[in-house]
Amino acid sequence: MPEAKSRKRKRGKKSGSKPQIQQQKEIKSNDVTKAKHGSQSNELAAASKRPKSSSSSSFLDKMKARLAGGHFRMLNETLYTCTGGEAFNYFTEDPSLFNMYHTGYQEQMSHWPEQPVNVIIKWLKDHNRSFIVADFGCGDARLAKNVKNKVFSFDLISKDPSVIACDMSKTPLDSSTVDVAVFCLSLMGTDYPSYLNEAQRVLKPGGWLLIAEVKSRFDPITGGADPNKFVKAISELGFTSVLKDFSNKMFILFHFQKKEKRESSKSKAIEWPELKPCLYKRR
């Protein structure tokens, strides 16, 4: 009997020791689980602090560029299909649109192998520095910033103290006070002849009219104006044609000189050709 009791006690001790071992295992298991969860949390926190991948940022940049490009194309089409007065009122009401337009314009120009404004700048540097210049549709006034001539810079909105905001058919200049009138990709309105009439008014006799325009606007095969009809109309306005240069792939150059006396025309009004809008394709 005593031996049986002792065996039971021994068995009892053995059976009582199992929960302690299991408890230790559970504690260790919980510690491991907590450690794993802690490690994962740290990894997630670190990941959230990491910079975004180049692919995602590149995607966002592309989306922003597309959005900006869409706004530019809309504004560009508006300028080509409204009058100068309407364009002036349009941008005066919301000047931020002018910034948006010129940002898109500069992006488009960055694809051109040669800038027409640089050609005109070179022409001015090769001629008399005392020439007074009127830059119709000056944009960022790049011409004025790169020559020593006195330059009156005109555009729809003034973001620079040197730029005069106005409808280009109604500048504040007095008659016969300018030696050179420049239109660099700026004959955009449906009433563009009114801009050229204004240039004729402010130019001195013998003064120069320099025009650079997108080449496709003067390609009759694709719906553009006949350049000969354009030259004829400006000649009837009181100018002599001096140069017509088609050598550049992107733009055409016209040089005219104001006649000393305009011939009195009692005949019918000048027939101005319609200039094809320059609408940029989606890239």
Task: Indicate if the pLDDT at residue 7 is higher than 70.
Answer: no
CA 2 distance to own-chain centroid: 105
Query: pLDDT of 120-168, one tens digit each?
Result: 999 999 999 999 999 999 999 999 999 999 999 999 999 889 999 999 9
Instruction: Specify whether the CB–CB gap between 121 and 146 falls below 8 A.
Output: yes
Instruction: Specify whether the CB–CB gap between 166 and 195 falls below 8 A.
Output: no
Query: pLDDT of 13-62, one tens digit each?
Result: 444 444 444 444 444 445 444 444 444 445 444 444 555 455 555 644 54
Indicate the pLDDT class of residue 74, thresholds 50, 70 and 90.
Answer: confident
As a whole number of angstroms, the distance between CA 193 and CA 200 comes to 10
Query: pLDDT of 173-214, one tens digit each?
Result: 999 999 999 999 999 999 999 999 999 999 999 999 999 999
DSSP 198-267: HHHHHEEEEEEEEEEEEGGGG-GGGTPPPHHHHHHHHHHTTEEEEEEE--SSSEEEEEEEE-SSPPP--S
Q: Taking the model in full, what pTM does it have?
A: 0.75
Torsion over CA of 65, 71, 74 and 77, rounded to 10 degrees?
-70
Instruction: Specify whether the CB–CB gap between 153 and 141 falls below 8 A.
Output: yes
Which amino acid type is present at position 141? A
DSSP letter assigned to residue 144: H
Mean pLDDT over each residue of the chain, to the nearest integer: 82
Least confident range from 38-52, 189-203, 238-252, 258-272: namely 38-52
